[in-house]
Every structure is written in structure tokens, then in C-alpha cells.
Amino acid sequence: MLALIKSICSVFGFIFLSSCAAYDFPDPTPEDYAVHGIDISRWQGDIDWVAVKQSGRAAFAWIKATEGGDHVDPRFVDNWIGARKAGVPRGAYHFYYFCRPVEEQISWVKEIVPVDPQAIPLVLDMEWNAHSKTCTTRPPREQIVRDMKIFLDEMERHYGKRPVIYSSVDFHRDRLVGALKGEQFWLRSVADYPNNIYDQRDDWYFWQYTAEGRVQGIKGDVDRNVFFGTRSQYRAWLRGELRR
């Protein structure tokens, strides 16, 4: 209903200008979105993927696979296989490490993450790692954007699907404002609607809205996410036929 009102105001605003101006459009909440999913890593422990599937709360799952050029999540293989067997659409994600050349990270992902045409796109996780004791460097914007493009292009060539870019508020603010237009972004925003926090990034595809979600089959907290559009748009995205 809200989308309909906005559409009417957009098309006939010159007629209903005063009425549209008076209408206070609230920001969408996660509950307003039809397609929800999760992302997980070793920290979720043993996962009952059949129960996750039956919960109806995981239309997709991104599973941590790799980090840098030599680390693999110890539960990646079990989660990768378990999600597929349970019928949960899943993809892998790579946590970028700023003290390792992008070429080495590309090779590492290829070594660990299988080529699976049924998987959803790979994710490139770009965020500052303030807890790292071995890598405190923060490369300039030009280098980061260049290396990201190299990674995205090669992963698309290898896996057949363009990766999604995950970003946190501070990293995006520091390095990605206005960059990589046309790419598919997945934004972390647990305090507010992403459009209110991320500058020049209202074309996002996925929104990570909490780190304290609960889903049947997973003990404890889990990140929860929404897809920006309808179920039919999501199916089109899975087929690689949707662009915002």
C-alpha cells in the first residue's frame, strides 16, 4: 500500500502536491520485506540445516568460506554440503585481508570454494578488521577499488556470476562512497534503515539488519538479512536476470 501511495504521488504529484507533502512516509522495516535470509560462520556451531529450511526464515544463506590467502572457515565444508542437502540456497563469502595481494586471495578462494552453478553469487566481504593483530594497514581508496574490481572480474569469470559486495558503515564511509556504481551491494545497518546511513548507496540489494536474530536449527544469535524486492524479483535475481 505504501509503495502504491508513493507511486501515485510521484506520477500525479503536481495535482496532489499538498497531500503528498503532508503524508509522512515511514522508513521500511525488515518486516516490510518478503525475502529473508541468514549469513553464518564457524561461530554458529553445529547447524541443523533441515530445521533451518523448515523454519521458512532462510530463503538464502551466505556461508563463510575463506579469509585472506590461507585461512578457511573450519565449518565451511559441512555447512556448504548441509545447506545444499536441505535445499537452502547458499553461497560462500570471502573476508578480504588488506595485507595479502589480491591475486593470492583470488587463488585461495578458487582453491576452497567449489564451482557450483546452483550456488548463489559469491560475496566479497569488505570491512575494516579492527581486531587484527597482524594487519593494521588501511590502503587508499584508489588501491582498494582497483583490487576489488580485479577480484570481482575474476570471480565472475571463474564462477559465472558477479559477486555481491558486503560492506560495513565505517568502511563504506571511508573508501566506497560513490564508487563501484552498478555493483550489487549488501549493507550492514543494524541501527537504522540503510538509506539513512550510507551515502550514495540507495541501490543496495541486501540489508543485514541484525546480528541477534534467531532461526530454528541454529543455537544462539545469527545475522539476519533481507532482499530489497519482491519474491518474484528475488527469483529473477537468482536467475541473474535482475538489475536495479
Catalytic: which of 31, 67, 111, 127? Answer: 127
Three-state helix/strand/coil letters over the chain = CHHHHHHHHHHCCCCCHHHHHHCCCCCCCHHHCCCEEEEECHHHCCCCHHHHHHHCCCCCEEEEEEECCCEECCCHHHHHHHHHHHCCCEEEEEECCCCCCHHHHHHHHHHHCCCCCCCCCCEEEECCCCCCCCCCCCCCHHHHHHHHHHHHHHHHHHHCCCCEEEECHHHHHHHHCCCCCCCCEEEECCCCCHHHCCCCCCCCCEEEEEEEECCCCCCCCEEEEEECCCHHHHHHHHCCCCCC
> Is-catalytic flag, 104?
no
Residues noted as catalytic: 127
